[in-house]
Chains A and B, each alone.
Chain A
């Protein structure tokens, strides 16, 4: 076999190795620096009634999911049925962080798709989102009873991701 005939194959293998190196550099897979740290303090009006406010410290003592969403976000609709299912399961309260949204739009969205959230924090400017390091909706945080961020998921949530990312952390008893 002439060696030159192997050249195309070798070139192809080199190309394959290069392409392989490029796969899976998914920026969203990197864990958040917030994990195992206290959740950023927040003090935000409620979406349903902006006269009322909710702070991080109000929620101390419960372990909950904080789901970042917006009515403008298509991927939020994708995960919405699963969020609803989770909330209806009742084991874990789900709070919403309505992020960079307009209250009227957001309420219409909830009327249309249903409102699974125990309460919705209204963050039109996105400041609290920034504190949480939110890159884009949807994102979901699991926050412990003592206010520590246990886990974070970027992108639409589904049963499989929940089972892999959040469920293992739920077996531990909440510290109270």
Chain B
């Protein structure tokens, strides 16, 4: 092999190793930071792997928002009008968080004081648009509605 060829081979090898390393790393990082989306019905059906972080989407049930006086703890119920999940969040809610609004919460499931499942949210997202419905939430609602219809027919 001529010196130039040898050098070129090394360069190609180095790039190949670098690229495959980067790809492997990227895939690992992607998998670690991937957040699945679930609806309240899916939570009830036990589709969520235990202990995992995920996003929960639904409508904030009317009249369900309550605050603990003196601190920033908020409790509310997210529903797809079929099943509901109570949510706990500590912090400041986005401007467009309202009862009856579709929102997405990020966090994990935990067992509450009375043994029921509570979603502990680390983040609550609502879009800056009145008429906006997060597509995931709309989808979840649609599925729930269809499920309700099916149940009603049978």
Contact residues of A with B, CB < 8 Å? 25, 27-28, 30, 33, 72-75, 100, 125-127, 130, 133, 135-137
Q: Report the count of interface residues on B (CB-CB < 8 A).
A: 16
B125 within 8 A of A: no
Q: Report B-chain residues with C-beta under 8 Å of the C-beta of A135.
A: 102, 133, 138, 141
Q: Do B135 and A25 touch (CB < 8 A)?
A: yes
10 contacts between A and B (CB under 8 A): A27-B133, A73-B131, A74-B130, A100-B100, A126-B62, A130-B81, A135-B102, A136-B102, A136-B130, A136-B133
Question: Which of B131, B138, B141, B149 contacts A74 (CB under 8 A)?
Answer: B131
0/1 string, B135-152, CB within 8 A of A gives 1: 100110110011001000
Bound CA–CA A103/B141 (angstroms): 28
Q: Do B146 and A75 touch (CB < 8 A)?
A: no
Nearest-CB residue, chain A, relative to B141: A135
Q: Report A-chain residues with C-beta under 8 Å of the C-beta of B10.
A: none
Q: Do B146 and A33 touch (CB < 8 A)?
A: yes
Q: Shortest distance in angstroms between A138's beta carbon and chain B's nearest beta carbon? A: 8
Q: Do B100 and A75 touch (CB < 8 A)?
A: no
Q: Other CB < 8 Å A-B pairs besides A33-B149, A125-B62, A135-B102, 20 of them?
A: A27-B133, A27-B138, A27-B139, A27-B142, A28-B138, A33-B146, A73-B130, A73-B131, A74-B130, A75-B131, A126-B62, A126-B100, A133-B141, A133-B145, A135-B133, A135-B138, A135-B141, A136-B102, A136-B131, A137-B131
Question: Which of B100, B102, B131, B145 contacts A33 (CB under 8 A)?
Answer: B145
Q: Report A-chain residues with C-beta under 8 Å of the C-beta of B36.
A: none
Q: Shortest distance in angstroms between B91's beta carbon and chain A's nearest beta carbon? A: 25
Q: Report B-chain residues with C-beta under 8 Å of the C-beta of A28.
A: 138
Bound CA–CA A25/B138 (angstroms): 12
Bound CA–CA A127/B138 (angstroms): 17
Bound CA–CA A30/B133 (angstroms): 14
Bound CA–CA A136/B103 (angstroms): 13
Nearest-CB residue, chain B, relative to A137: B131
Nearest-CB residue, chain B, relative to A138: B131
Q: Report A-chain residues with C-beta under 8 Å of the C-beta of B102.
A: 135-136
Nearest-CB residue, chain A, relative to B79: A130
Nearest-CB residue, chain A, relative to B146: A33
Q: Report A-chain residues with C-beta under 8 Å of the C-beta of B135.
A: 25, 27
Q: Report B-chain residues with C-beta under 8 Å of the C-beta of A25.
A: 135
Q: Report B-chain residues with C-beta under 8 Å of the C-beta of A73.
A: 130-131
Q: Report A-chain residues with C-beta under 8 Å of the C-beta of B100.
A: 100, 126
Cβ < 8 Å to A, chain B residues 108-154:
130-133, 135, 138-139, 141-142, 145-146, 149
Q: Report B-chain residues with C-beta under 8 Å of the C-beta of A133.
A: 141, 145
Q: Shortest distance in angstroms between B30's beta carbon and chain A's nearest beta carbon? A: 15
Q: Shortest distance in angstroms between B153's beta carbon and chain A's nearest beta carbon? A: 10
Q: Do A30 and B81 touch (CB < 8 A)?
A: no
Bound CA–CA A127/B63 (angstroms): 12
